[in-house]
A = this chain, B = another copy of it.
Amino acid sequence: MHSQSGPIGEFDLIERFFKTGTAINSTLSLGIGDDCALIKPLLGEEIAITSDMLVEGRHFFVGTDPESLGRKALAVNLSDLAAMGAKPLGFTLAIALPTVDTQWLESLSKGLFAVANQFSCPLIGGDTTAGPLTLSITAIGSVYFEKAIRRSGAKIGDDIWVSGTVGDARLALAALRQEIILPECDLQSIAHRMHQPTPRVELGMKLGGIASAALDISDGLLGDLKHILKQSQVDAEIYLDQLPKSATLQKQSLAIQNQFAASGGDDYELCFTAPSKQRDVILEISKSLNLPLTRIGHITAMQNDKSTIRIMGTNGNFIGDADATALLKSFDHFAQ
């Protein structure tokens, strides 16, 4: 046995904390312990791949609860799979650790595997090393060839939809930073939105063939929507008062509500576009998943060579371009 924080071998670490019993799904031919993992996709399936890196002090606070960290690290990657309409198949974890704290690793592993098991997404490989605390996850999924939802597919006239509510993760961050004082019950009602985001995997899988474009909201609704616009070469109009906000966020001033809903990061809801003929189907999906899906605007023709979001007020009046307002403060790890 190894001591609480003494030296421990790399192979021991993997065996002990990460080679646990996630349900192996049928496409996994070979898991941890060889030079590579092997996945055998079904006929007609493509493989979707996404990587994210989380650095201590940058993406999470020093001293963050390791179980929440484990949950979030995997959830944000599954959210990318969801935005593509892909079904999770497995993930790799590369982790740098300043010291080996077995209790901390047990908690991290618990959080990771809670999400892994929820989505039948086994750990299939990885790397552990000494270094400043950093987690890098690559998630692998599958999607039928015609069903992958790309960012480039939005068409003029398409509706713009968003799942769940937006702005709660930003509100929780504001409370943690003491920018805003929240009553304990309010904080409790939204803290999980920041610490334990729910990847919209089922929604993404149902939207294949229905949505024309999609992405997940990690940096802020308007900033992320811009990526769809840019890749689809279109503009958008957004109805500011249609943004879906939680009861807790609605207790804040209208200015805070709008700012956090429009450009707060870390929500991991899906923003997607779809032809208007799909409205009934989308509302059926909303019902079947018990997840609000809200129409917040529509796609318009590009007016100049730069994709633009026009923010519209209650009576359809034009408020301003998102670029020209304080709304569009998309989270950018280097530029902020």
Q: How many copies of this chain does one complex carry?
A: 2
Q: Of B40, B124, B131, which is within 8 A of A132 by CB?
A: B131
In the complex the two chains form, is A129's CB within 8 Å of B59's CB? yes
Q: Does A50 contact B (CB under 8 A)?
A: yes
Whether A132 pairs with B84 at a CB distance below 8 angstroms is no
Expressed in whole angstroms, the minimum distance between the Cβ of A211 and any Cβ of chain B is 12
- B interface footprint on A122-134 (CB within 8 Å = 1, 0 otherwise): 0011111111101
With contacts A33-B231, A34-B84, A58-B130 known, is A7 near B51, CB below 8 A? Answer: no
A298 close to chain B: CB less than 8 A: no
A37 to B48, CA, bound (A): 5
Q: From residue 58 to 80 of chain A, which have CB atoms closer than 8 A to chain B?
A: 58-59, 80
On whether the beta carbons of B36 and A141 are closer than 8 Å, the reply is: yes
**Assembly CA distance A129 to B41 (angstroms):** 31
Known: A37-B48, A51-B125, A94-B51. Is A333-B150 also a contact (CB below 8 A)? no
Q: Report if A334-B9 is in contact (Cβ < 8 Å); known contacts: A39-B46, A125-B51.
A: yes
Known: A125-B49, A215-B35. A145 touches B40 (CB 8 A): yes
Contact residues in B for A50 (Cβ distance below 8 Å): 35-37, 92, 125
Whether B53 pairs with A95 at a CB distance below 8 angstroms is yes
Is A127 a contact of B51 with CB atoms below 8 Å? yes
Smallest Cβ-Cβ distance to A50: which chain B residue: B36
**What B residues does A46 contact at CB under 8 A?**
29, 38-40
Query: For the complex, what is the distance from the CA of A41 to the CA of B143, rounded to whole Å?
Result: 12
Chain B minimum-CB-distance residue to A80: B35
Residues of B within 8 A of A134 (CB): 53, 55, 96, 131-132, 134, 136
Select A124's contact among B49, B100, B141, beta carbons within 8 Å. Answer: B49
In the complex, chain B residues whose CB is within 8 Å of the CB of A8: 334-335
Residue A101 CB within 8 A of the other chain: no
With A95-B53, A140-B47 as given contacts, are A83 and B35 in contact (CB-CB < 8 Å)? yes
Q: Enumerate chain B residues within 8 angstroms of A41, measured Cβ to Cβ.
A: 41, 47
Given A36-B81, A215-B35, the answer on whether A52 and B10 have CB atoms closer than 8 Å is: no
| 19 residue pairs from A and B, CB less than 8 Å apart | A10-B335, A29-B148, A34-B84, A34-B215, A35-B151, A35-B215, A36-B48, A36-B50, A39-B47, A39-B49, A40-B47, A41-B41, A49-B92, A49-B138, A51-B127, A53-B136, A96-B134, A100-B334, A129-B334
